C-alpha cells in the first residue's frame, strides 16, 4: 500500500499534468484565434484594410525576407 | 549561437565542426541545383478558405523534401558526434512544424498582412516549449545553428554583386550611404548611451533595423555568435514593426502628398522586410514600387559585406581572450566562423563566375531553387529556436526595455536620415529625377 508521501506525489503529478494540458489548450486556442483574426484583417474598413486588400489583389507576398523571394525580381531595372 | 567560444587550443576539423558542415551542406545543395540534379523544391501553396489547397499536388514532394533534408542533416549530426537515428526521428516532427508554419503564413489574408513563416515558426516552437515542454526525443534534431548557417551559405548565392552596379547611382546613394551610418549610430546608442549589456544583441538589432530585417538579423547573429534569445527578440521586434510600417507609410505618404518616387525610396530604405517594401511601394504606383524594390535590393546585397565585417570585428575585437593584446593570426583563424567563407564564397562564385559564364537566366533559375531550400532551413531554425527558448529567458533579454528603446530610436533616426537621402537622390537634386 503506498504511503502518504507517494499519494501526495501522485496527486501533484496529476495536477501538474492537468495544468500543462490546460495551458497547452489555452495557448493553441490563442494561436488559432490570432491566425483567424489575421486572416480577416483585409476586411477592416478604411485605409488599413485598403492596403491589405491591395496586397491580395496584386498577389504581393509581403512576407518575403529577401529580394529573391519576390516575384519578378529578375526584371527590376536600374535607377 | 549561444555556444561558448572555442578555446585557442581546440581546432575543429573539416568534418566535425558545425561551421564546416554548413559549408558542405550548402555547397552540396548549390551543386545539386547547379548541375540539374534538383529541378524543383516542394512548397506549401497559397490558400484562402480551403486548407487542403495548400497541399494540392505537393504531398509526395514535401515527403521527399523532408526525407532528403533529414538524411543530409542526420549525416552532419552523426559526423559531429550525434546519433543518426535519433536525429532522423526528431527531424520529421520538426519538419512537420515547419510545414505548419508555412501553412499558416500562406493563408491569403495572413500573407497580405505580412505575418510570415518566421513569426509562426517561433510562436509554435515557443508554444510547445512553454507548455508541455520540448520532448527529449525531439532534442537531437534541434540544430538551429546548423540550419541557420547552411541557410546563410545558400543566401550567399542570392547576393549577386554583379547586379548592383546596374541598379543605378540614386538607389546606391540611399541604400549604401544611410545603412552604415545607422548601424554605427545604433552601435554607439546601444553600447554607450543605453548600455545594453550584450554587444551582439546591439549589432543584431542594428542590422535588422538598417539593412533588411529578419534575414540581416540571422546573418549578423550567426557572425557575432549572438544568443538564440537575442535573435528571437530582434526578429520579433522587426516582424511587428515591419507590418506597422508597411501599412502606415504609404498611407502617410499619400496623405501629405509627397512625390511617390521619393516616398518609394524612403520606404525602400526604411521598411525592414523586402516583401513588405515591394507591397508598400506598389501602393504609390507601379514606377514607385520598382524604385522601392530596387533600393531594398541594394540594401539586401549589403548584408554580405556587413556579415563578413561583423565576423572579422568580433573575432579580432570583441571575443578577446588575450588580455587586451591583439590576437595572433592563427588565433583569429581558429575563432573565425568558417561558414562565413561559404557565405562570401557562394556570393562571389555566383556574381563573378557563374553569372558571366552561364548567363543571368541560368543563374536566376539556380537561385530560385537555392532560395527555396534556404527558406526551409531558416524555418526549421526558427522552430528549433522556439523549442529551445522559454519566456523567462526571453524576458531577461528585454533588460528594462532598453533593446526596444534601441530599436525605436534607431528606426526613427533611420526614417529621418533616409527621408533626407531620398529627397537628395530621387527628388532631382543630386541625380536626374526618375519619371
Q: Of B113, B213, B387, which to mutate for an interface test with A (greatest number of A Cβ within 10 Å)?
A: B113
Looking at the complex, report in whole angstroms how far the Cα of residue A5 sits from the nearest Cα belonging to chain B: 25
- CA nearest to B347, candidates B76, B159, B75: B159
Q: Give pLDDT, residue B397.
A: 77
CB contacts < 8 A (A, B): 156
Which one has a higher pLDDT value, B25 or B334?
B25
Chain A partners within 8 Å of B112 (Cβ): 41-42, 52-53, 55-56, 60, 62
pLDDT one-digit tens code per residue, A3-62: 666 555 666 666 677 888 888 899 999 999 999 999 999 899 988 888 899 999 998 889
Our measurement of the distance from residue A55's CA atom to the centroid of its chain's CA atoms, rounded to an integer in Å, reads: 20
**Three-state SS sequence of B138-157:** CHHHCCHHHHHHHHHHHHHH
Q: Of B43, B107, B109, B171, which to mutate for an interface test with A (greatest number of A Cβ within 10 Å)?
A: B109
Read out DSSP for B20-31?
A: HHHHHHHHHHHH
Closest to A62 (Cβ–Cβ): which among B112, B131, B368? B112
Domain assignment of residue B10, yes or no? no
- When pLDDT is averaged across residues B211-220 and rounded to a whole number, the result is 93
Q: Give pLDDT, residue A1.
A: 54
Whether residue A60 and residue B247 make contact (CB cut-off 8 A), yes or no, is: no
Q: Sorting pLDDT into bands at 50, 70 and 90, what band is B435?
A: low
pLDDT one-digit tens code per residue, B103-124: 999 999 999 999 999 999 999 9
Instruction: Give the C-alpha separation, B423 to B435, whole Å.
Output: 14
Q: Which of A15-29, B13-27, B261-275, B396-410 has the lowest mean pLDDT?
A: A15-29
Q: Is residue B8 scored above 50 in pLDDT?
A: no
Q: Give pLDDT, residue B6.
A: 39
Closest to A70 (Cβ–Cβ): which among B124, B213, B293? B293
Q: Is residue B165 scored above 90 in pLDDT?
A: no
Closest to A55 (Cβ–Cβ): which among B112, B158, B434? B112
Q: Give pLDDT, residue B5.
A: 37
pLDDT one-digit tens code per residue, B315-353: 988 876 556 667 778 878 888 899 999 999 999 999 999
Whether residue A65 and residue B158 make contact (CB cut-off 8 A), yes or no, is: no
pLDDT one-digit tens code per residue, B232-265: 999 999 999 999 999 999 999 999 999 999 999 9
Q: What percent of chain B has pLDDT over 90?
A: 77
Q: Is residue B219 scored above 50 in pLDDT?
A: yes
As for how many domains chain B has, the answer is 1
Q: Of A24, A40, A68, A75, which to mutate for an interface test with B (greatest number of B Cβ within 10 Å)?
A: A68
Q: Give pLDDT, residue B231.
A: 94
Whether residue B113 and residue A38 make contact (CB cut-off 8 A), yes or no, is: yes
Chain B partners within 8 Å of A65 (Cβ): 116, 118, 212-215, 273-275, 375, 378
Domain assignment of residue B220, yes or no? yes
Whether residue B131 and residue A51 make contact (CB cut-off 8 A), yes or no, is: no
Domain encompassing residue B229: 18-426
Domain assignment of residue B245, yes or no? yes
Domain assignment of residue B45, yes or no? yes
Nearest-CA residue of chain A relative to B254? A47
Domain assignment of residue B11, yes or no? no
Under DSSP, the state recorded for B374 is: H
Mean pLDDT computed over every residue of chain B: 91
Domain assignment of residue B432, yes or no? no
- When pLDDT is averaged across residues B373-390 and rounded to a whole number, the result is 95
Residue B43: other Cβ atoms inside 10 A:
17
Cα–Cα distance list, B396 to B3, B194, B324, B389, B400 (Å)? 18, 16, 29, 12, 9
Domain assignment of residue B138, yes or no? yes
C-alpha cell recorded at residue B290 = 520598382
Nearest-CA residue of chain B relative to A73? B293
Q: Sorting pLDDT into bands at 50, 70 and 90, what band is B379?
A: very high
Our measurement of the distance from residue B106's CA atom to the centroid of its chain's CA atoms, rounded to an integer in Å, reads: 19
Considering only CB atoms, which residues of chain A are within 8 Å of chain B?
20, 23-24, 27-28, 31, 35, 38-42, 47-48, 51-56, 58, 60-70, 73-74, 76-79
C-beta separation of B198 from B227 below 8 A: yes
Q: Give pLDDT, residue B3.
A: 46
Instruction: Give the C-alpha separation, B183 to B204, whole Å.
Output: 10
pLDDT one-digit tens code per residue, A16-27: 778 888 888 999
pLDDT one-digit tens code per residue, B269-316: 999 999 999 999 999 998 898 899 999 999 998 998 999 999 999 998
CB-side exposure of B84: number of CA atoms within 13 Å?
5
Closest to A60 (Cβ–Cβ): which among B250, B278, B368? B278
C-beta separation of B91 from B384 below 8 A: no
Whether residue A68 and residue B131 make contact (CB cut-off 8 A), yes or no, is: no
Whether residue B297 and residue A73 make contact (CB cut-off 8 A), yes or no, is: yes
Q: Give pLDDT, residue B242.
A: 94
pLDDT one-digit tens code per residue, B61-119: 999 999 999 999 999 999 999 999 999 999 999 999 999 999 999 999 999 999 999 99
Domain assignment of residue B431, yes or no? no
Q: Of A28, A65, A72, which to mutate for an interface test with B (greatest number of B Cβ within 10 Å)?
A: A65
Nearest-CA residue of chain A relative to B102? A63
Amino acid at each position: 500500500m503506498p504511503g502518504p508521501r507517494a499519494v501526495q506525489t501522485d496527486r501533484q503529478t496529476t495536477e501538474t499534468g492537468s495544468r500543462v494540458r490546460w495551458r497547452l489548450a489555452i495557448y493553441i486556442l490563442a494561436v488559432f484565434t490570432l491566425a483567424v483574426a489575421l486572416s480577416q484583417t483585409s476586411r477592416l474598413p478604411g485605409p488599413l484594410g485598403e492596403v491589405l486588400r491591395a496586397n491580395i489583389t496584386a498577389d504581393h507576398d509581403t512576407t518575403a525576407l529577401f529580394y529573391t523571394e519576390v516575384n519578378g525580381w529578375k526584371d527590376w531595372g536600374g535607377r | 549561437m549561444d555556444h561558448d567560444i572555442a578555446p585557442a587550443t581546440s581546432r575543429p576539423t573539416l568534418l566535425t565542426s558545425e561551421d564546416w558542415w554548413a559549408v558542405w551542406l550548402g555547397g552540396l545543395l548549390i551543386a545539386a541545383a547547379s548541375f540539374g540534379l534538383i529541378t524543383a523544391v516542394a512548397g506549401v501553396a497559397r490558400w484562402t478558405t480551403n486548407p487542403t489547397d495548400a497541399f494540392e499536388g505537393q504531398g509526395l514532394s514535401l515527403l521527399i523534401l523532408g526525407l532528403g533534408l533529414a538524411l543530409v542533416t542526420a549525416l552532419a549530426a552523426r559526423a559531429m558526434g550525434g546519433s543518426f537515428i535519433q536525429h532522423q526521428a526528431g527531424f520529421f516532427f520538426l519538419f512537420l512544424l515547419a510545414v505548419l508554419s508555412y501553412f499558416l503564413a500562406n493563408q491569403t489574408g495572413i500573407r497580405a498582412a505580412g505575418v510570415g513563416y518566421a513569426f509562426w515558426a517561433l510562436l509554435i516552437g515557443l508554444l510547445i516549449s512553454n507548455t508541455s515542454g520540448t520532448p527529449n526525443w525531439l532534442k537531437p534534431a534541434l540544430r538551429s545553428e546548423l540550419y541557420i548557417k547552411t541557410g546563410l551559405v545558400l543566401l550567399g548565392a542570392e547576393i549577386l554583386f554583379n547586379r548592383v552596379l546596374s541598379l543605378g547611382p540614386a538607389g546606391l546613394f540611399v541604400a549604401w550611404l544611410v545603412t552604415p551610418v545607422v548601424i554605427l549610430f545604433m552601435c554607439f546608442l546601444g553600447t554607450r548611451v543605453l548600455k545594453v549589456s550584450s554587444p551582439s544583441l546591439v549589432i543584431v538589432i542594428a542590422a535588422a533595423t538598417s539593412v533588411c530585417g529578419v534575414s540581416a538579423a540571422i546573418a549578423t547573429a550567426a557572425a557575432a555568435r549572438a544568443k538564440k534569445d537575442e535573435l528571437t527578440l530582434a526578429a520579433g521586434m522587426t516582424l511587428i514593426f515591419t507590418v506597422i510600417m508597411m501599412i502606415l507609410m504609404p498611407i502617410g505618404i499619400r496623405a501629405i502628398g509627397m512625390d511617390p518616387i521619393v516616398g518609394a525610396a524612403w520606404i525602400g530604405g526604411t521598411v525592414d522586410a523586402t516583401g513588405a517594401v515591394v507591397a508598400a511601394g506598389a501602393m504609390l504606383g507601379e514606377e514607385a514600387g520598382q524604385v522601392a524594390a530596387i533600393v531594398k535590393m541594394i540594401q539586401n546585397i549589403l548584408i554580405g559585406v556587413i556579415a563578413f565585417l561583423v565576423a572579422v570585428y568580433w573575432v579580432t575585437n570583441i571575443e578577446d581572450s588575450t588580455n587586451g593584446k591583439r590576437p595572433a593570426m592563427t588565433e583569429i583563424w581558429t575563432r573565425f566562423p568558417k561558414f562565413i567563407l561559404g557565405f562570401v564564397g557562394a556570393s562571389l562564385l555566383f556574381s563573378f563566375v557563374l553569372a558571366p559564364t552561364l548567363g543571368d537566366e541560368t543563374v536566376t533559375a539556380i537561385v530560385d531553387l537555392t532560395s527555396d531550400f534556404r527558406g526551409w532551413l531558416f524555418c526549421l531554425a526558427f522552430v528549433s529556436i522556439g523549442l529551445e527558448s522559454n519566456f523567462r529567458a526571453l524576458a531577461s533579454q528585454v533588460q528594462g526595455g532598453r533593446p526596444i528603446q534601441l530599436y525605436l530610436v534607431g528606426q526613427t533616426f533611420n526614417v529621418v536620415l533616409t527621408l533626407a537621402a531620398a529627397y537628395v537622390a530621387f527628388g532631382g537634386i543630386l541625380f536626374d529625377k526618375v519619371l
